[in-house]
Structure 1
Amino acid sequence: MVAFFERFDPTIQALYATLFTWGVTALGSALVFFFKTIHKKVFDTMLGFAAGVMIAASFWSLISPGIDLAEEMGFNPWLMAAMGFMSGGLFLFIVDKTLPHMHLGLGPKVKEGPKTSWQRSVLLVLAITLHNIPEGLAVGVAFGAVAAGIESSSLMGAIALAIGIGLQNFPEGAAVSIPLRREGMSRSKAFLYGQASGIVEPIAGVLGALLVLSMRSILPFALCFAAGAMIYVVVEELIPEAQSNNNSDYATMGVMVGFTIMMILDVALG
């Protein structure tokens, strides 16, 4: 796998990696052809798993390399990490308040952002798309960090991050398409809506790689920015929704398993 990626420049590496994560989202959405419902306990466990993966990836794949690079470049490491991390969260906060969307675990009448007449299906896709912006960005920035020659970054580590993001995209794809099918939408249309939520990842991945390659000095900030945006999604949406159906034990174990798998991928392979 490493040999395959080594043949390409970082932007193409980021594109292939995020096409993979989009593809896994589509695989999750394809479950709609076999199931019409998701048991609440399974759904909450899946959300917890996604949260655990994102938490682990935020530190090992993003914040830690960002701090190392800040030190190498002569920046104040804790200040750079703090500024990038908080900026990522603030960016998602602003997007969350300005773009109408609907959280997966909430009822059909609970909408966020500006008032709109958009259909529930569109709002659900937008909610997952918000997740996928920082995820795609994180993968792209990780490949850019490898090209920048950061000691704590490696091509295998960037690939491991893409694998981890892909793993947690599987339940997210299913979490969009299956509820839409349950509400009466056809299987094929529910699948199309579910996989569409992952389209933004290749776009964000390529943009992230191009950004850090053209302006290497912002790479420490960009790494921590992506981490902050991912943690914002986890704390503001994934964990609260996973805990909303009185299945906290299942959701918590999902977080533990997701964190552990991502930690193994990043530390052992990276």
Structure 2
Amino acid sequence: MVEFFTGMSPMLQAFLATLFTWGMTALGAALVFTSKKLNQKVFDSMLGFAGGVMIAASFWSLIAPALEMAEQNSSLPGWIPAAIGFMLGGLFLWTADKVIPHLHPTLHPTTDGHAPEGMGTRNRRRSTLLVFAITLHNIPEGLAVGVAFGAVANGTSGQSLAAAIALAIGIGIQNFPEGLAVSMPLRGEGMSRRKAFFYGQLSGMVEPIAAVIGVLAVTLVTPLLPYALCFAAGAMIFVVAEEVIPGSQENGNKDLASMSLMIGFTVMMVLDVALG
């Protein structure tokens, strides 16, 4: 797989990698053609697994290389760019969460505090709010892949092509339940299978766009690399803490979701360390 990407421009590498992550979103959404309702335990375990993958990817693929880059290429202590970038990523998602109208697909809509969020939600259709939610959360994932491939192109130590590919694989794996989280509720409300699938896969389209932006940012302005890597990590951790973990545990499957998170973390850690 590494040989396939070798010799390509970083923009093409990131674009192809995020086509895979988009495809995994579409694959999850495609389950709507086989069923109208998914077993809640299965879905909660998938969410927990996705959360573990995102946490592991945030550290092993983003924060750890950023710390090494900052220590080698900056006059500041390595933790300063990492901390600034990480917090800015979380603040960016928090702000977007307050502004962009959306409805968390993994949280039960009748539970207190799980109503539609953002500005102008009153006149928005449920399908639109669900797509906005997953699209919002896919931005940092696409950005993370783009920044990772951009770091490889810059020849930065601590980041290899195999590690960037491992990150894309991990994000693709955790995108599977995201597509499912949009399509299944819409199908359950009576929407046709084709429309439910369309809306489910639509949210993944933002990842190739975000990846290209990430590559451009770090290849044009190399000093941004540590900040950009940790920015993507902070945004991903915000998504995990704000939605993925609560959504996986609110239906009483806490132990199952927690163990699935541990498995997801382990799988992503092995992928990154073994390939990177």
TM-score (norm 1): 0.98
> Can you list the C-alpha shifts for 1:48-99, whole angstroms capped at 9, x where unaligned?
1111000000000000000100011123211111000000000000000001
Q: Distance in 2 between matches of 1:238 and 1:231?
A: 10
What is the DSSP-based 3-state SS (H/G/I as helix, E as strand, rest coil) of the residue aligned with 2:50? helix
What is the DSSP-based 3-state SS (H/G/I as helix, E as strand, rest coil) of the residue aligned with 1:137? helix
1:167 to 165, 169, 173: 173
Q: CA deviation at 1:115?
A: 3.7
1:248 match:
254
Contiguous gaps of at least 5 residues in structure 1:
none
Q: Kindly report which structure 2 residues correspond to 1:49-60, keeping only aligned pairs within 5 A, or say none.
A: 49-60=49-60
Q: CA deviation at 1:7?
A: 2.5
1:32 match:
32
1:184 match:
190
Q: Distance in 2 between matches of 1:83 and 1:4?
A: 35
Q: Distance in 2 between matches of 1:110 and 1:222?
A: 32
What is the DSSP-based 3-state SS (H/G/I as helix, E as strand, rest coil) of the residue aligned with 2:183? helix
Is 1:121 aligned with 2:127? yes
Q: Distance in 1 between matches of 2:43 and 2:103?
A: 16
Q: CA deviation at 1:261?
A: 0.7
> Can you list the C-alpha shifts for 1:8-35, whole angstroms capped at 9, x where unaligned?
1101100000011001111111110001
Q: Distance in 1 between matches of 2:7 and 2:53?
A: 28
117-126 or 99-108: which moved more?
A: 99-108
Q: Kindly report which structure 2 residues correspond to 1:102-117, keeping only aligned pairs within 5 A, or say none.
A: 102-104=103-105, 105-107=107-109, 110-116=115-121, 117=123
1:257 match:
263
Q: CA deviation at 1:110?
A: 1.4
Percent identity (aligned):
64
185-194 or 252-261: which moved more?
A: 252-261
1:70 match:
70
Q: Distance in 2 between matches of 1:237 and 1:101?
A: 12
Q: Distance in 1 between matches of 2:260 and 2:223?
A: 37
2:142 match:
136
Q: Please, what is the CA RMSD of the aligned residues?
A: 1.0
Q: Which amino acid aligns with 1:114?
A: M
Runs of 4+ in 1 over 3 A off after TM superposition: none
| Matched residue count | 270
What is the DSSP-based 3-state SS (H/G/I as helix, E as strand, rest coil) of the residue aligned with 1:231? helix
Q: CA deviation at 1:101?
A: 0.6
What is the DSSP-based 3-state SS (H/G/I as helix, E as strand, rest coil) of the residue aligned with 2:204? coil
Q: Which amino acid aligns with 1:83?
A: I
TM-score (norm 2): 0.96
Q: CA deviation at 1:118?
A: 0.6
What is the DSSP-based 3-state SS (H/G/I as helix, E as strand, rest coil) of the residue aligned with 1:205? helix
1:11 match:
11
What is the DSSP-based 3-state SS (H/G/I as helix, E as strand, rest coil) of the residue aligned with 2:57? helix
What is the DSSP-based 3-state SS (H/G/I as helix, E as strand, rest coil) of the residue aligned with 1:101? coil
Q: Which amino acid aligns with 2:167?
A: L
Contiguous gaps of at least 5 residues in structure 2:
none
Q: CA deviation at 1:47?
A: 1.1
Q: Which amino acid aligns with 2:269?
A: M
1:198 match:
204
